[in-house]
Amino acid sequence: MEVTLEEAKLYLRVSSSDEDELITNMIASAEKIVQDIARFPDEEWKSNEEKVLIRMRTAILYTVAYLYEHREDADHNQLNLTLRALLFGVRKEEF
């Protein structure tokens, strides 16, 4: 269920390849952040049902956009609260 560079660039409305490496790194960070917020271990999070994967993908794209737009002034506490709200229905109570 990886978000591709092309998907992220489309979501961000970025057409040049100048920041491809930056966006690729943000995708990797976003996937880990979302995985941690949803409390899904590495081996489990990609094998869930479609409705869970859709929420996870949306959360990853949102996180990439947040990190991209707020490179200098990101409020990670606010990001975490928003992700918890987005993932509320699929978030596990504990690891």
Domain assignment present for residue 44? The answer is: yes
CA atoms of 67 and 69, how far apart (whole Å): 6
Domain assignment present for residue 59? The answer is: yes
Q: Say if residue 55's pLDDT is above 70.
A: yes
Domain assignment present for residue 72? The answer is: yes
Q: Which range marks the domain in which residue 59 is found?
A: 5-86
pLDDT at 19: 95
Mean pLDDT on 58-74: 94
Domain assignment present for residue 51? The answer is: yes
Domain assignment present for residue 91? The answer is: no
CA atoms of 75 and 83, how far apart (whole Å): 12
More confident residue, 33 or 48: 33
Cβ neighbours, 10 Å, residue 35: 18
- Contact call for residues 62 and 16 (beta carbons, < 8 A): no
